[in-house]
Every structure is written in C-alpha cells, then in structure tokens.
Structure 1
Amino acid sequence: MPELPEVETVRRGLAELVNGDTIVDVQVTLPRIIRYPSVTEFVDRASGRTIRGIGRRGKYLLFDLAPYTLVSHLRMEGQYRVVPTGEPVALHSHVIFRLASGRDLRYRDVRQFGTMDLLLPDESWPSGLRALGPEPFDPSLTPAALRRSLAKRTAPVKAVLLDQTVIAGLGNIYVDEALFLSGIHPLEPANRIGPKRLIRLLAAVRDVLGRAIDAGGSSIRTYQDGYGRHGGFQIQLNVYGRTGEPCCQCGREIQRIRIGGRGTHYCPHCQRPGRTSRVAAKPEREVGR
C-alpha cells in the first residue's frame, strides 16, 4: 500500500500537472470505486469543476473542486496518470476525468480496493480520515505529545505506530526503518519506551519520511507517481525486505517476524529491548495477533 511518501509524491506530481485545469466530464467503469454520492451524482458534481489544488491528509489525497472535495484513497495499488485524451486506455482504468486541456486524469487500480468520495464540507467524511492522528511533521507532534499517546498502549510499538490515530500516514516500510534508526525493538511495549528513546524515534520517523519523499517514495511493488515514474528510496532501505542479509551497522543477519499480521524486519543486535522490557521472538513467528 502506498504510504505517506508515495502519496505525497503523487500529490506533488498531480499538482504540477492538473492544478487549474477543469473537469469536462467523468467516466466511471467500476461503480464501487465511488463510495459517495451515487455515480450519477458524482459525475454531475465533478463535471465543470476546476481543480483548485491538491492536498494530502495521511494517506488520503484531497482534490479541491470547490465547493466540493474529492477524497481519494489509493489503498493497495491505486495509481493516477495524466495522459492525452486520445491515448489508449489501459486495462483497469476505472475512473477517467476528461480535462479541458485535452488530457485525461485516469485512475487505474488493478486490485480495485481504492475509494473516492466527493463531498461538501457539511457531509459525512470517511471515518478513517476523521480519526487520523497528527501529521508526522506537525510541530504539535512533540516527543511529549507522542509519549502521552503511547502512555496506555501496551501493544508492540510496531503495531501501535501502524495505528493511523497515533501518527497519520505511517505504514509497514517506514515504521520498520524508523525503529531501526532509533534502535528500538519492534516488539517493545509502546508504553515502555522512555523519553530519550521517544526523542530518537520521532526524529527517525521524520528523517526516514523526509528522505523517502525526496527520493519519490519506494517502488516495492507497482507504485508510480502521476508522471508514471517509480520511486527510488528502496535502495536506501536498511532492514525492510532484507531478511537474512547483513545489517549495515553491525553485520548481523536481519530477521523477520510477524506482528499483527504484518511482516516486520529488524536487527536483533542493533534493536535490543530496553532494560525494563522483556521481549522474545523467533524469525517468522506470528506475534501480537
């Protein structure tokens, strides 16, 4: 699933490509992508609207079609491409916005899990969007604020950081990388991580996300931005996807376990549990379901 760096990269590319363009018509070939309103009303609302800007909240894209907002979640493999209207339509292109500039903004989704909502400010927005925690770079997200969020969370820190109500936009790749950089074992109970290590953790989250955004995200599977370009951060990954390879810091083998159903990568030497924690895991063992 695209995480914050990938969604932010898509947002920036689309903003360069379609800001100020006007939607002439919309073609929807897979109705279930449109969650709200009906497909007919969705087409009516969007047609004739100018794209005034594109924002992001967590992993959601927010298209400003004043007075409406198009809320788009890419889910597993959703992609946007901007192409000339006459270009052949690729398979699995489920929503096509015809633009006044003679181009199409096409949404393609092989897995068909993505969603779109076209909403007025007073209409009910997706519950996942309403429940999001602070953005990782929000100045209000201080180590002290993070500590308060984790104070009663006894689950493994890896699982807690994937909870979008704690920090918006984090996913499997970047949580693994941030925990490695901060030297925190992924199975540590979240509420056992002290102030000094929380300072390191928050700094690591911001460092990893910042570098990933600069690199255009990580193309682990099928991710592309609005220009059709792949990301480049995958070559900088320290632990994610490197099971059995030597750690870049100590040379020990990177291990993989499962926490809450998610593959989790870490170095058992560089990410030792804190003195007040007791964790143990074997490679490929399922933990914390």
Structure 2
Amino acid sequence: MPELPEVETVRKKLLDKVQNKIIDDVEIIYDKIIKNIDPKTFKESLKNQKIEDIKRYGKWLIFCLTDYYLLSHLRMEGKYLYKDSNEEIEKHEHIIFHMGDKKLIYKDVRKFGCMYLFSKSTDIFNIKPLSDVGYEPWDKKLNVEYLKDKYNKNIPIKTLLLDQTILTGIGNIYADEILFLSHINPLLKGNELSDENLKDIIKNTCIVLEQGIKNGGTTIRSYTSLDFETGHNQNNLLIHKRENEKCKNCSTLIKRIKVGGRSTYYCEKCQK
C-alpha cells in the first residue's frame, strides 16, 4: 500500500502535469470507486472544472477544483497515468478524466481505491473520510501528551503506529524503520512506552518520512508514482525486508516476526 511518501510523490508529479487543466469529460468504467455520490452526478459535476491545486492529507490526495474537492485514496494498488487522449483504454483503467488532447487515468488492479466528491463549501476535514484521519507527523498538535493518551493501550506499538486515526501516513515499511531508529521493540505495548520513547517516535517519524519523500517513495513490490516511475527509497532501508542480514548498527542478524498479522523486521539487540 502506498504510504505518505509515495502519495506525496504522486501528488507532486500529478500537479506538474495537470495543474490548471480543464476536465472536459469523465469516463467511468468501474463505478464502485465512487463512494458518496452517484456516478452520473459525479460525471456531470466534474465537467468544465479546472484542477487548481492538488494537496495531500495522510494517504489521501485532494484535488482542488473550481467548485469541488475530489478526494482519492489509492489503497493497495491504485495508480494514476497521464496519456494521450487517443490511446486505447487498457485493463484495470477505471476512471478517465479527459483534458483536451490528454487524459488522466485512475488504474487499480485490486479495485480497492476510492473517490469522494464534495462541494467547495464543505469543511472536508470535519466530515468522513478525513474526519477519521489522525494528525500528520509535522502537525504542531502532535506531542508526547497526545501520543501518551492515544497509545495508552495494551497493544504492540507496531500495531498502534499503523492506526491512521492516531498518526496518519505510516504503513508497514516505515513503521519498521521508525521503530529501529527509535530503538523500540515492535512488541512493546503502547502503555509501556516512556516519554523518551514517544519523543523518539515523533522525531524519527519525520526523519523517515522526509527521507522517503526525498527518494521518491519505496518500491518493493508494485508501487510506482505517475506513469509507472519507481521510487528509490528501498535502497536506503535500514531494517525492513532485511531478514537474516546484519544490522547496520551492531551486526546482529535481523529477525522477522508477525505483529498483528503484519511482517515485522527488527534487531533483537538494538530494539530491546
């Protein structure tokens, strides 16, 4: 699943291609992608809308149009492609935004992605789905007291880091990296974390995600940004996917375990 750095990379590349473009028409191949409005209204509402900006919150893309906000979540396999308008529609291309001699395509092999359309008069951060999303790592309201309250549970910290309602944008890859830099065992319960642990989580979350953005995201299996461009951050991972390799800090062999059903990589010596 694309995490915050991957979605931010997609946002930047999309903005470069489609900012100030006018949507002439929308072709809907698989309408279950659209969640809060009927497909006909979705299509009609988007005609002649200008893409003024594209923002991001957590793992959500927010297309700022003339009169609407279009929210898009890539889920597991969602991708955007930018093609010439005369190119043939291919398999798994579900929503097509026609713009002059070009078209922006939402492609999703798994069909888990989703889109919401809201009027510009809507406070989108106080209505689902964004009202359920937690703070971004750089939010000034994210502090030790906030995490102490939210993480005060008998649940492993690895699982809590993946909870998008607390701290948004972290997925499996970056959670492992954050815990490694913070010297925290992924099995440590949330209610066992010290204030120093929480400070380290806040600091290292920013470090890890900023590195991911700088490197264009992490491509391990299927992630690509716009038009199948892969990321480079996989070349900089310290712990994730390095089972039985030597820890870069102490040379102990890295272990892989399951935490909450998710493969988790850690160093027994560095993360006690």
Category of TM-score, reference length = shorter chain: over 0.9
2:107 counterpart residue number: 108
* Structure 2 CA distance for aligned equivalents of residues 166 and 123 of structure 1: 20
* Structure 2 residue identity aligned to 1:167: L
Superposed counterparts of 1:276-287, under 5 Å: none
- Identify the residue that residue 213 of structure 1 maps to in structure 2: 213
How much does 1:82 deviate? 1.2
Instruction: Tell me how far apart the structure 1 counterparts of residues 112 and 213 of structure 2 sit (CA, whole Å).
Output: 24
For the residue of structure 2 that corresponds to 1:52, the secondary structure is strand
Q: Deviation at 1:220? A: 1.3
| Alignment match, 2:268 | 268
Alpha-carbon distance change, 126 to 173 in structure 1, aligned in 2, over 3 angstroms: farther
For residue 126 of structure 1, report the CA deviation from its aligned partner. 6.8
Is 1:3 the counterpart of 2:38 in the alignment?
A: no
How does the TM-score come out when normalised to structure 2? Answer: 0.95
Q: Give, in angstroms, the shift of residue 245 of structure 1.
A: 1.3
Residue deviations 1:209-252 (CA, integer Å, cap 9, x gap): 00000000001111111243110000111111111111111111
Shift of 1:85: 1.1
Q: Is the 8 A contact 1:156 1:190 kept in 2?
A: yes
Q: Which amino acid aligns with 2:73?
A: H
Aligned 8 A contact 1:13 1:227 in 2 = no
Question: 1:39-89 deviations in whole A, cap 9, x for unaligned?
Answer: 111100111100011111111111112321111110000000112112233
Offset of residue 91 of structure 1 = 1.8
Q: In structure 2, the residue corresponding to 1:257 is in which secondary structure?
A: strand
Q: Does the residue aligned with 1:127 lie in a helix, a strand or coil? A: coil
Q: What's the counterpart of residue 134 of structure 1? A: 135
Aligned to 1:180: 180
Q: Secondary structure at the match of 1:50?
A: strand
2: CA distance between counterparts of 1:35 and 1:6?
23
Match of 1:145 in 2: 146
Instruction: Please list every run of 5 or more consecutive structure 1 residues that lacks an aligned counterpart in the other structure.
Output: 273-289
Aligned to 1:96: 96
Matches of 2:229 and 2:88 in 1, distance apart?
19
Whole-angstrom CA distance in 1 between matches of 2:141 and 2:227: 33
CA pair 22-106 structure 1, distance change in 2 beyond 3 A:
same
Within 1, Cα distance between the matches of 2:230 and 2:177? 20
Structure 1 counterpart of 2:163, one-letter code:
D
Corresponding residue for residue 157 of structure 1: 157
Pairing 1:67–2:67 present: yes
Q: 3-state SS of the aligned residue for 1:72?
A: strand
Q: Deviations over 1:171-200 (max 9, x none)?
A: 111011000011000010112111122212
Give TM-score scaled by structure 1 length.
Answer: 0.89
Aligned-residue CA RMSD (Å): 1.6
Give distance in 2, aligned partners of 1:67 and 1:189: 46
Farther-moved stretch of structure 1 (43-52 vs 226-235):
226-235
Which consecutive unaligned segments of at least 5 residues does structure 2 have? none
Identity of aligned residues (%): 40
